[in-house]
């Protein structure tokens, strides 16, 4: 779906359904002549919300991705049938709120301190300021009694800010990343403010019952209040003054039908064959696809693969590992360090492995169009998904959706939310190199019947639990509160 520049801007007080996320569902491309063009970056969230966004005065509120003082831009005001509302951020806000508090404090803390979180008062102040900007913008456009759905860790304070401004609204909050156990979360200097911020919502949703349970435990500890949380049934947090907040798990998913349909097209099937041929027609093609992020365990799988070649468990003439990493958060120091480490590892491996003409480890640092990505999923015999911690991991679900002939294997970290739904994957502990090595060998060596049985079970589960079911589940629960 393409954004629409000439569409009507929404009037204040007119929106009956509002989605709020750090980013708008559009991408800007800056041409060589400096011209900015916009394209839709719908992804799963937009397609899931399309039915509820369509047919009423609906709005998506978010940041355009470009700092206003870097380049003044006016994002399109509509996409399809719903409106877009930009929250303009300055370079300093981007550095402190987005790169700083969101991605150098909350992101590493909520992902089990894989790198050390930074605690700075300046970035916290910017986080408060930007959350208030989002809340004010939302309060202005929402109609009386509207439903507002706030997304993710960049906006944890927003629900309570919005409730203060507009007590009439029905507010849902969904966290896309893990919520850490109490002993980690309690390190955060602003822990109470964050919990109070989230509890401004009527419904707080998490990827897994573990995240929901951790949140309830922390809320009870910090605010000295009761909760009735149960891993199977979700629960309630009872606030002073009688307000109750519903807490539950809603595992996110993907648009399964559209991935499977794309994977089955003759063009994608043909491209998948070409990819294998371009990679030297290996007997086994292994694949990794991730944002370049230290949570994803890219280094773990590369090291495991290199060791298997060195141990002569794998033959460099017949096996290829293709790692595709999409650039992410490149201004944040830890992300720059990670990229250097990964590229050093790839470079060393290229020098040390294989005969002349053999290149068992391939690496690409770029984002791919959906058709090309799906062709890689179709081409791959084994998908390696080895995060140290991941809220869900949609790549794992996309790979499963694309195995329309059930002929692929998934090696999956126990610490990805997806592991709760895919017990038939080859589950690994990414902190154990041996565990990853063993899983790769087992996935490669298993019988065709076993491989198909496992993949078929995962596809059946996924088909029944697609992104539309996720969105409906959350919104029905919000309507019922
Ligand atoms: P996260 O939310 O941490 O980025 P997920 O695995 O849940 O991790 O989602 C990543 C999304 O980004 C998936 O939809 C995946 O298809 C997409 N993606 C990852 N790498 C690439 C790439 N190189 N090119 C295009 N899309 C990518
Ligand atoms: O799922 C986590 C998340 O931060 C999302 O909020 C976001 O859409 C995605 O990863 C990409 O991150 P960023 O917006 O920082 O590029």
CA distances from 143 to 9, 13, 19, 79, 149 (A): 15, 4, 13, 20, 14
What pLDDT shows up at residue 7? Answer: 65
Tell how far the Cα of 120 is from the centroid of ligand 2, in angstroms: 22
Q: Where are the domains of the chain?
A: 15-252+468-480, 256-464
296 close to ligand 2 (CB < 6 Angstrom): no
Tell how far the Cα of 151 is from the centroid of ligand 1, in angstroms: 17
Tell how far the Cα of 410 is from the centroid of ligand 2, in angstroms: 23
469 close to ligand 2 (CB < 6 Angstrom): no
Q: Pocket around ligand 1: residues whose beta carbon is below 6 Å from it?
A: 289-291, 324, 326, 367-368, 373, 392-395, 398
The domain 256-464: what is its CATH number? 3.40.50.2000
23 close to ligand 2 (CB < 6 Angstrom): yes
Report the alpha-carbon distance of residue 49 to residue 7 in Å, rounded. 20
- Report the alpha-carbon angle 450-300-432, nearest 5: 70
Which atom of ligand 2 lies at the shortest distance from residue 151's CA?
A: 6
Question: Helix or strand or coil: residue 442?
Answer: helix
Encoded tokens for 101: 């508090």
Per the listing, tokens 């707080």 go with 204
Encoded tokens for 288: 């990794």
Report pLDDT digits (tens) over 90-144: 999 999 999 999 999 999 999 999 999 999 999 999 999 999 999 999 999 999 9
Tell how far the Cα of 256 is from the centroid of ligand 2, in angstroms: 21
Tell how far the Cα of 164 is from the centroid of ligand 1, in angstroms: 35
Nearest ligand, measured from the Cα of 27: 2
Report the alpha-carbon distance of residue 314 to residue 316 in Å, rounded. 6
Report pLDDT digits (tens) over 212-248: 999 999 999 999 988 888 888 899 999 988 899 999 9
What pLDDT shows up at residue 354? Answer: 67
20 close to ligand 2 (CB < 6 Angstrom): no
What pLDDT shows up at residue 43? Answer: 67
99 close to ligand 2 (CB < 6 Angstrom): no
Encoded tokens for 432: 């154990």
Residue 416 and residue 392 in contact, taking contact as beta carbons nearer than 8 Å: yes
User: What would be the CATH architecture of the domain defined by 15-252+468-480?
Assistant: 3-Layer(aba) Sandwich (3.40)
Q: Is the pTM of this model over 0.85?
A: yes
Domain 256-464 in the same topology as domain 15-252+468-480: yes
Q: Residues in the chain with pLDDT < 50?
A: none
176 close to ligand 2 (CB < 6 Angstrom): yes
Name 450's Cβ contacts closer than 8 Å, sequence gap at least 6: none
Which atom of ligand 1 lies at the shortest distance from residue 364's CA?
A: 23
Tell how far the Cα of 227 is from the centroid of ligand 2, in angstroms: 30
Nearest ligand, measured from the Cα of 293: 1
Name 44's Cβ contacts closer than 8 Å, sequence gap at least 6: 252, 253, 254, 255, 394, 467
Report the alpha-carbon distance of residue 306 to residue 456 in Å, rounded. 30
What pLDDT shows up at residue 70? Answer: 86
Pairing of strands 284-291, 244-249: unpaired
Tell how far the Cα of 121 is from the centroid of ligand 2, in angstroms: 23
177 close to ligand 2 (CB < 6 Angstrom): yes
Nearest ligand, measured from the Cα of 292: 1
Tell how far the Cα of 378 is from the centroid of ligand 2, in angstroms: 25
- Among protein residues, the one whose CA lies closest to atom 11 of ligand 2: 328
What pLDDT shows up at residue 241? Answer: 87
Report the alpha-carbon distance of residue 306 to residue 384 in Å, rounded. 14
Residue 286 and residue 320 in contact, taking contact as beta carbons nearer than 8 Å: yes
Encoded tokens for 394: 């949609």
Residue 169 and residue 142 in contact, taking contact as beta carbons nearer than 8 Å: yes
């Amino acid at each position: 779906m393409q954004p629409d520049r000439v569409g009507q801007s929404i009037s204040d007080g007119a929106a009956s359904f509002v989605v709020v996320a750090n980013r708008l569902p559009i991408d800007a491309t800056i041409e060589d002549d400096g011209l900015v063009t916009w394209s839709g970056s719908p992804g799963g969230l937009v397609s899931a919300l399309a039915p509820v966004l369509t047919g009423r005065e609906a709005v998506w509120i978010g940041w355009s991705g470009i700092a206003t003082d870097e380049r003044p831009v006016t994002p399109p005001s509509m996409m399809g049938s719903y409106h877009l509302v930009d929250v303009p951020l300055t370079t300093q806000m981007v550095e402190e709120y987005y790169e700083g508090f969101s991605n150098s404090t909350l992101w590493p803390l909520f992902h089990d301190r894989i790198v050390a979180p930074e605690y700075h008062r300046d970035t916290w102040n910017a986080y408060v300021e930007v959350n208030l900007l989002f809340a004010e913008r939302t309060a202005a456009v929402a109609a009386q009694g509207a439903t507002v759905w706030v997304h993710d860790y960049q906006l944890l304070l927003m629900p309570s800010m919005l409730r203060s401004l507009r007590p009439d609204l029905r507010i849902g909050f969904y966290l896309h990343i893990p919520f850490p156990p109490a002993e980690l979360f309690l390190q955060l200097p602003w822990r109470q403010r964050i919990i109070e911020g989230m509890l401004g919502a009527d419904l707080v949703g998490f990827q897994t019952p573990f995240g929901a349970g951790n949140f309830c435990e922390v809320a009870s500890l910090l605010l000295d209040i009761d909760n009735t949380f149960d891993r199977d049934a979700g629960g309630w947090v009872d606030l002073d003054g009688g307000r109750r907040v519903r807490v539950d798990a809603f595992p996110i998913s993907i648009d399964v039908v559209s991935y499977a349909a794309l994977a089955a097209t003759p063009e994608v099937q043909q491209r998948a064959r070409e990819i294998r041929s371009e990679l030297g027609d290996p007997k086994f093609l292994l694949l990794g696809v991730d944002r370049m992020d230290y949570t994803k365990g890219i280094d773990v799988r590369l090291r495991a693969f290199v060791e298997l070649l060195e141990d002569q468990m794998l033959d460099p003439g017949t096996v290829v590992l293709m790692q595709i990493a999409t650039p992410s958060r490149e201004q944040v120091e830890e992300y720059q360090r990670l990229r250097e480490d990964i590229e050093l590892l790839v470079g060393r491996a290229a020098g040390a492995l294989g005969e002349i003409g053999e290149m068992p480890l391939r690496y690409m640092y770029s984002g791919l169009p959906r058709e090309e990505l799906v062709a890689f999923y179709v081409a791959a015999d084994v998908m390696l998904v080895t995060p140290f911690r991941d809220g869900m991991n949609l790549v794992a679900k996309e790979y499963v959706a694309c195995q329309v002939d059930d002929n692929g294997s998934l090696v999956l970290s126990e610490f990805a939310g997806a592991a709760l739904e895919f017990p038939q994957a080859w589950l690994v502990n990414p902190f154990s190199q041996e565990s990853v090595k063993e899983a790769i060998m087992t996935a490669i060596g298993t019988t065709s019947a076993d491989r198909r049985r496992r993949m078929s079970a995962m596809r059946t589960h996924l088909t029944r639990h697609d992104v539309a079911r996720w969105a409906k589940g959350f919104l029905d629960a919000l309507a019922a509160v």
